[in-house]
A and B are shown apart, each in its own frame.
Chain A
Amino acid sequence: MTIGAEEIYDEGPLYEVAKKVYPQKIWGTYRRLKWIVLWVALGVYYILPFLRWNRGPNEPSQAVLVDIAHSRFYFFFIQIWPQEVYYFTGLLIIAALILFLSNALFGRVWCGYACPQTVWTDLYFWVERQIEGDRRDRMKLDGEPWTADKIVKRVAKHAIWLLIALATGGAAMLYFVDAPTLLKELFTLQAPAVAYIWAGILTFTTYALAGHMREQVCVYMCPWPRIQAALTDNEALNVTYRFDRGEPRMSVKDATKARAHGSPAGDCVDCVQCLAVCPTGVDIRKGPQLGCINCGLCIDACDAVMTKIKRPTRLIAYDNDENRERRKRGEPNVYHLVRPRTIMYAVLIALVGAIMLYVLTTRSNSHLSVLHVRAPLFTQTAEGGIRNGYTLRFSNKLADPQDFTLEVSGIAGITLSSVVAKPVADGRLGVRLDPDSTLEVPVYVTTAPDVSLKAQSTPITFTAVDPKTGERNVVVDHFFGP
């Protein structure tokens, strides 16, 4: 049986061309909130690398630094070594839980206010509005042929967009190297090639995602909308069109007439301002949907219109579905911000935070580890004793040189010797470590001549003591014999 090609595709294409969105300017509570969050976020991003933190002459003086070259992470008074990278795991867990908590409380506020995509796209929209005008002007400009005026406007807009993107990409580099130094080097073309390459990559992604992709990122690329949709319950606050108040929608004239007659009249006058100001171009009156990032600008737009026609505000508001049912039944609105779900998230955040705090404050300033020499496992010395070789690695995490004394115990009469560590009092060895460094020390443990070992493998213990603070590091290994 042959199948015609036309019969397979009768559902229509799966691909939909993106329609360009022209958000209109609006002023109100939520717009102001968005601007505040934007300034704070951008301020932190650009200023943080320049904050200084004095750690002494041997260490970098930048407060927040991901020093890849020397394998250290500095955050104000915290310094993390590579083997402690699991602190990032803790941080990421806390960040995820905070995201879940914010979603359980206020819905998709991350998307609407704090997400870098939203912040930079908002900034780029502002630049576009300054140069090309508000919504109607921009739509008109798009339809025009390429006049000199249009060319100038477009070039200026894209140039400023690129400058912002360049500043963003460059600022990202400042977190990895000392900021003032790298900034100077970047401008005098002396920075390492990898800094330029990565700054270039981030410039490109900023420009493409904030300038061109915009809401496509939120709708198609980002996983958070879909995850948060699954995590949202009936009590979380989302930007909601109160259709119980707004429908049936009609013009102001018709509404006045209908109210005079006593027939139902909705508050929505179909001015479509909510659609006009929406940065992702969704009609919130259709209900919650994937494109709505909960920024609340439609609330500001609707409130402005409602105030003008002297009707109550908050026809669109942060509300939950349960309240719609309650209003239908005539009950008052109830907001359950504190409920088992949010309590659980808060408790988890506190728990993980407490664990991390505890581990951070009880970190030791030094570390000792031991590896047994593999070949030979043991040697019979000329005097008749048995000798085992070990490689000890000392770590000094302080910014000053540190001394350690080393001793060994576990078998009667054993002696400790090393070519690297020098003997100090009563059979112990001493090492001195440079600041913020590790040292490998090969040592030998030898039994007295003609001592018979009770077993082929006996546990022995190495103890390293910091004489100044009394801090001890203890490791256990095995002593092998024939």
Chain B
Amino acid sequence: MITDPVQVDKVSGQTTTGHEWDGIRELNTPLPRWWLWIFYATIAFSFVYWIFYPAWPLASSYTSGVLGATNRTAVLADIAFNNQVRSEMAAGLEKASLTQIAGDPKLLALALAQGKAAFANNCTPCHGSGGQGQKGYPNLTAGRWLWGGNLDQIQTTITHGIRAPDDADTHTSAMPAFGKDGILKPEEIREVASYVRTLDGLEPEQGVDVAAGKKVFADNCVACHGEEGKGNIDMGSANLTTKVWLYGNDLNDLVYTITNARNSTMPAWGKRLDPETIKSLAVYVHSLGGGQ
């Protein structure tokens, strides 16, 4: 940058800045007056803003402004407004019974939409995005239910959970750990596991006495699982004759189940969700294909 005599441009009448860079000069045109005053106005506005809104950080807090507005209160206000709008629409859900909801097209559409959203928020970590579950997490679409698949039973299961520690009415089933507690010997467990596979039409293990397994089954399992292994919804014992297996139908899986029992849990959602949401969830889960 070299100093340069100030010149006047022929066309615009402006002076140059008085510096020259490799022969390049710049006109010293002043900022437009309208722009400058708008700029001053924004500065003045900032002083007003500091008074009314959160602005400056202090050592361990901040200036919160006269209005006391925070993002948190704004979000809470939005949520409260949303709940209020929802409550107007959901008033019908509150009054209707589950069968009435399933029969009324408008209520059904609302319940399905609400259930779908609530399901995605609460249920998908265990039951999967479409309710299909995986090994160890129930498949809600298949039509095999441990605790019943009609609307009321689904609602009860959602409300009280399974082995939920904070709910007195929770579903509890107690399959004994036949191997761990020493009720059955390992060979007997393998025999009954093979027999259970034949109940489902699967191949038993080679070289295992399936007839002996059937006797073990009759002595130990029929009390909960029924004469033909069809299960008992009141007790939460599984139907062993369907193609749907919660913990797998591999020989090793069956042996493990019989040896150690399975005591998985489901939260009691009645403690966390309001009744209308649970109604919507029940209707939605019932509509996933396996409802009865």
Contact B9 A5 (CB under 8 A): yes
Contact B128 A376 (CB under 8 A): yes
Q: Which residues of the partner chain A approach B173 to less than 8 Å between Cβ atoms?
A: none
Closest to A376 in B: B132
Query: Which of B9, B105, B142, B283 meets A382, CB within 8 Å?
Result: B142
Given the complex of chains A and B, what is the CA–CA distance between A2 and B5 in angstroms?
A: 12
Query: Which of B20, B105, B109, B243 meets A2, CB within 8 Å?
Result: B20
Given the complex of chains A and B, what is the CA–CA distance between A437 and B235 in angstroms?
A: 47
Query: Which of A5, A379, A442 meets B16, CB within 8 Å?
Result: A5
Q: Which residues of the partner chain A approach B141 to less than 8 Å between Cβ atoms?
A: 376, 379, 387, 389
Given the complex of chains A and B, what is the CA–CA distance between A382 and B288 in angstroms?
A: 14
On chain B, the number of residues with a Cβ less than 8 Å from chain A's Cβ atoms is 34
Interface positions, chain B 9-49, Cβ under 8 Å from A, are 9-11, 16, 20, 23, 25
Contact B143 A419 (CB under 8 A): no
Given contacts A6-B10, A382-B144, A382-B239, contact A373 B130 (CB under 8 A): yes
Contact B7 A374 (CB under 8 A): no
Interface string of B77-118 (1 = CB under 8 A from A): 000000000000000000000000010010011001000000
Given the complex of chains A and B, what is the CA–CA distance between A381 and B143 in angstroms?
A: 6
Asked if B289 is at the interface of the complex by the 8 Å CB criterion, the answer is yes
Contact A382 B109 (CB under 8 A): no
Contact A3 B23 (CB under 8 A): yes
- The distance from the CB of A137 to the nearest CB of chain B, in whole angstroms, is 34
Q: Which residues of the partner chain A approach B112 to less than 8 Å between Cβ atoms?
A: 419-420, 442
Asked if B286 is at the interface of the complex by the 8 Å CB criterion, the answer is yes
Asked if B153 is at the interface of the complex by the 8 Å CB criterion, the answer is no
Closest to B111 in A: A419
Asked if B244 is at the interface of the complex by the 8 Å CB criterion, the answer is yes
* Count of A-B residue pairs with CB < 8 Å: 79
Query: Which of A4, A375, A380, A440 meets B243, CB within 8 Å?
Result: A380
Q: Which residues of the partner chain A approach B128 to less than 8 Å between Cβ atoms?
A: 375-376
Asked if A1 is at the interface of the complex by the 8 Å CB criterion, the answer is yes
Contact B130 A382 (CB under 8 A): no
Given contacts A5-B7, A419-B102, contact A374 B130 (CB under 8 A): yes
Residue among B16, B102, B141, B239 with the highest chain A CB neighbour number at 10 A = B141
Asked if A13 is at the interface of the complex by the 8 Å CB criterion, the answer is yes
Q: Which residues of the partner chain A approach B289 to less than 8 Å between Cβ atoms?
A: 379, 381, 387, 389, 444
Given contacts A5-B9, A375-B129, contact A419 B286 (CB under 8 A): yes
Given the complex of chains A and B, what is the CA–CA distance between A64 and B187 in angstroms?
A: 84
Query: Which of A3, A379, A383 meets B139, CB within 8 Å?
Result: A379
Given the complex of chains A and B, what is the CA–CA distance between A3 and B10 in angstroms?
A: 14
Closest to A443 in B: B289
Contact B16 A382 (CB under 8 A): no
Asked if B290 is at the interface of the complex by the 8 Å CB criterion, the answer is yes
On chain A, the number of residues with a Cβ less than 8 Å from chain B's Cβ atoms is 27
Asked if B242 is at the interface of the complex by the 8 Å CB criterion, the answer is yes
Asked if B138 is at the interface of the complex by the 8 Å CB criterion, the answer is no
Contact A375 B130 (CB under 8 A): yes
Asked if B287 is at the interface of the complex by the 8 Å CB criterion, the answer is yes
Contact A383 B242 (CB under 8 A): yes
Contact A381 B142 (CB under 8 A): yes
- The distance from the CB of A184 to the nearest CB of chain B, in whole angstroms, is 29
Given the complex of chains A and B, what is the CA–CA distance between A380 and B20 in angstroms?
A: 82
Q: Which residues of the partner chain A approach B283 to less than 8 Å between Cβ atoms?
A: 419
Contact A381 B290 (CB under 8 A): yes
Asked if B291 is at the interface of the complex by the 8 Å CB criterion, the answer is yes
Contact A419 B23 (CB under 8 A): no
Q: Which residues of the partner chain B approach A2 to less than 8 Å between Cβ atoms?
A: 20, 23
Residue among A13, A374, A375 with the highest chain B CB neighbour number at 10 A = A375
Q: Which residues of the partner chain B approach A387 to less than 8 Å between Cβ atoms?
A: 141, 289
Given the complex of chains A and B, what is the CA–CA distance between A299 and B191 in angstroms?
A: 111
Q: Which residues of the partner chain B approach A12 to less than 8 Å between Cβ atoms?
A: 11
Contact B142 A380 (CB under 8 A): yes
Given the complex of chains A and B, what is the CA–CA distance between A212 and B290 in angstroms?
A: 72
Given the complex of chains A and B, what is the CA–CA distance between A376 and B134 in angstroms?
A: 11
Contact B108 A420 (CB under 8 A): yes
Q: Which 7 A-B pairs have the closest CB atoms?
A: A375-B130, A376-B132, A382-B144, A382-B242, A419-B287, A375-B129, A382-B143
Question: Can you report 7 residue pairs joining A to B where beta carbons are below 8 Å apart?
Answer: A2-B23, A5-B9, A381-B289, A382-B243, A389-B141, A419-B283, A419-B286
Q: A5-B10, A376-B131, A382-B239 are in contact. List 17 more A-B contacts (CB 8 A).
A: A4-B7, A5-B7, A6-B7, A6-B10, A9-B11, A374-B129, A379-B132, A379-B141, A381-B289, A382-B244, A384-B242, A387-B289, A419-B102, A419-B283, A420-B108, A432-B105, A444-B289
- Residues of chain B whose beta carbon lies under 8 Å from any beta carbon of chain A: 7, 9-11, 16, 20, 23, 25, 102, 105, 108-109, 112, 128-132, 139, 141-144, 239, 242-244, 283, 286-291
